[in-house]
């Protein structure tokens, strides 16, 4: 069985079949850049990153568009509060979002469209809806006629009488139906405006995403990813306006990421209980934050608390220690790789089988609607097997199978982004320098031991221990790792 995705549209798991067998298009509803993002917002961006990484791992050519909403009521209000222009605020907070994402190890999208750079596309789309009698103009504002789309409500699965309650629409007696929503807002004093056939004004929030998505990915997307708070009305309205305009499905699969909670309550700016991503990254290493955010499958809520983060720290320490050990023990010499006379014994064969089982279990977990929790479990099952193997087995054939294990671990951890050169606690250059310095001290210690200079030997060991560096003496020489 291949990849299956829970589609919010059908409310069931579906086999993933992209429009193009070699190319996958993904649209992720990015932030409204009126403030710094909190760690709850980051969960959706991180899930998008991992879905994209896994699809690439499976051989797809992925194009991701992640928008930045840079004109909106919240931006106008926040800019006025700070005494700066809307453009200046959006630029500052947009740059901050991209920087915070980079710090979290999120790979940049192929395109980060900004709403203000796609006004012509929005005007064209709105005019198409007017021409199809799905929208109407009142005093320079344009409204979408909800009754024009027979399937309105199919994503949220709400009854018609319940739709208005969740829409949070502005009460406007000029509308034909209270559920009708803004496509274009007539100019108000002091607000940014653009020219349009209906007069000066600015776009509504929902039309922005439809126009940007279709501009960069086509009329039908493979995957649309958003936080569950956007399912209604935003994503519902995207479907209504896009599908009526084009006559085609807007997205084949709708993926919605569950809330992050704190003290059992949804984390959010409206709740005033949020933690900024940049503050979290100042307090915890990148991999710890990533590990925590994917420690549950994306459709399950997570609670942000020190205990959960401590568990992630411990897990990542175990992972790093294993990969550090494999960096020393798992690098076969060129002569060993070319030596066909080296025969693997039962222990080596068993570990090689464990590596293959880990890869199979990892892919099975990720194919089950991107179940990162189970995928992490598969990785740590192999880590346990590797650690037991290193403690008990020292043969000429060991280096080859350990190199095989390290390659498999780094590949799968790379899909999750929990062990990569870009996000490692110690950057690659610094790590290499540190390794060279510790190796030099170990060489000096070994020379002291050969001279039976136990005082110098013990002093080096003890001083390194004070730095949380633990020495392990083996038959093949001393190795080191970071201690707990």
User: pLDDT of the chain along its 484 residues, tens only?
Assistant: 799 999 999 999 999 999 998 799 999 999 999 999 999 999 999 999 999 999 999 999 999 999 999 999 999 999 999 999 999 999 999 999 999 999 999 999 999 999 999 999 999 999 999 999 999 999 999 999 999 999 999 999 987 666 665 454 556 778 999 999 999 999 999 999 999 999 999 999 999 999 999 999 999 999 999 999 999 999 999 999 999 999 999 999 999 999 999 877 888 766 677 899 999 999 999 999 999 999 999 999 999 998 999 999 999 999 999 998 887 654 444 434 444 446 788 999 999 999 999 999 999 999 999 999 999 999 999 999 999 999 888 777 888 999 999 999 999 999 999 985 433 444 444 555 676 788 788 889 888 888 889 889 888 888 888 777 878 776 656 777 665 4
Which tokens go with 21? Answer: 């067998």
This prediction has a pTM of 0.83
Please list the residue range(s) of the chain that carry CATH number 3.40.50.620. 12-132+146-155+204-283
Dist. CA 283–CA 42, nearest whole Å: 16
Cβ-contact 445, 283 below 8 angstroms? no
Which tokens go with 431? Answer: 């790590």
First to last CA, the chain: 40
> Cβ-count burial of 217 within 10 angstroms (0-12 exposed, 13-18 middle, 19+ buried)?
buried
Q: Which residues of 28-60 are buried (b: 16+ CB within 10 A; e: fewer)?
A: bbbbbbbbbbbbbbbbbbbbbbbbbbbbeebeb
Cβ-contact 298, 28 below 8 angstroms? no
pLDDT for 442 equals 85
pLDDT for 428 equals 40
Cβ-contact 110, 66 below 8 angstroms? no
Which tokens go with 63? Answer: 């194009």
Dist. CA 415–CA 53, nearest whole Å: 5
Q: What DSSP element (H or E) covers 376? A: helix 372-392
Dist. CA 398–CA 395, nearest whole Å: 5
Degrees, nearest 5: CA angle 189-191-192: 135
CATH class, range 12-132+146-155+204-283: alpha beta
pLDDT for 97 equals 96
The three-state DSSP-derived secondary structure of 400-441 is HHHHHHHHHHHHHHHHHCCCCCCCCCCCHHHHHHHHHHHHHH
């Amino acid at each position: 069985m291949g990849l299956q995705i829970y589609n919010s549209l059908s409310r069931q798991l579906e086999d993933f079949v992209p429009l193009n067998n070699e190319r996958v298009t993904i649209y992720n509803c990015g932030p409204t850049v009126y403030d710094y993002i909190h760690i709850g917002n980051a969960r959706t961006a991180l899930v998008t990153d991992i879905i994209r990484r896994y699809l690439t791992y499976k051989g797809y050519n992925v194009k991701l568009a992640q928008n930045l909403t840079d004109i909106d009521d919240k931006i106008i209000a926040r800019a006025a509060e700070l005494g700066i222009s809307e453009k200046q605020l959006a630029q500052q907070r947009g740059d901050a979002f991209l920087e915070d994402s980079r710090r979290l190890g999120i790979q940049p999208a192929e395109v980060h469209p900004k709403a203000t750079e796609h006004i012509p596309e929005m005007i064209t789309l709105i005019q198409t809806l007017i021409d199809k009698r799905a929208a109407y103009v009142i005093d320079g504002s344009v409204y979408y006629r909800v009754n024009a789309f027979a399937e309105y409500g199919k994503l949220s699965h709400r009854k018609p009488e319940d739709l208005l309650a969740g829409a949070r629409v502005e009460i406007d007696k000029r509308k034909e139906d209270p559920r009708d929503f803004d496509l274009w807002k007539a100019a108000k004093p002091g607000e940014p405006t653009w020219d349009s056939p209906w007069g000066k004004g600015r776009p509504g929030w929902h039309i922005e995403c439809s126009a940007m998505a279709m501009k960069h990915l086509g009329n039908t997307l493979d995957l649309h990813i958003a936080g569950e708070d956007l399912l209604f009305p935003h994503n519902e309205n995207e479907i209504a306006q896009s599908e009526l305009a084009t006559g085609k499905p807007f997205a084949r699969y709708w993926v919605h990421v569950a809330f992050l909670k704190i003290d059992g309550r949804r984390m959010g700016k409206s709740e005033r209980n949020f933690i900024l991503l940049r503050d979290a990254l100042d307090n915890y290493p990148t991999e710890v934050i990533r590990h925590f955010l994917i420690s549950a499958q994306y459709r399950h809520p997570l609670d942000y608390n020190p205990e959960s983060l401590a568990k992630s720290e411990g897990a990542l320490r175990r992972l790093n220690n294993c990969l550090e050990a494999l960096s020393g023990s798992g690098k076969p010499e060129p002569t060993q790789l070319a030596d066909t006379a080296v025969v693997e014994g039962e222990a080596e064969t068993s570990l090689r089988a464990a590596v293959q089982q880990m890869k199979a279990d990892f892919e099975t977990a990720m194919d089950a609607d991107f179940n990162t929790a189970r995928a992490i479990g598969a990785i740590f099952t192999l880590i346990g097997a590797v650690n037991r193997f290193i403690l008990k087995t020292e043969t000429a054939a060991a280096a080859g199978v350990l190199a095989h294990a390290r390659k498999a671990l780094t590949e799968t951890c790379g899909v999750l982004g929990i062990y990569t050169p870009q996000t490692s606690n110690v950057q690659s250059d610094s790590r290499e320098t540190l390794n060279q310095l510790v190796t030099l001290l170990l060489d000096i210690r070994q020379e002291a031991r050969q001279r039976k200079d136990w005082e110098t030997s013990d002093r080096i060991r003890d001083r390194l221990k004070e730095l949380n560096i633990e020495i392990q003496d083996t038959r093949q020489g001393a190795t080191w790792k970071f201690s707990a």
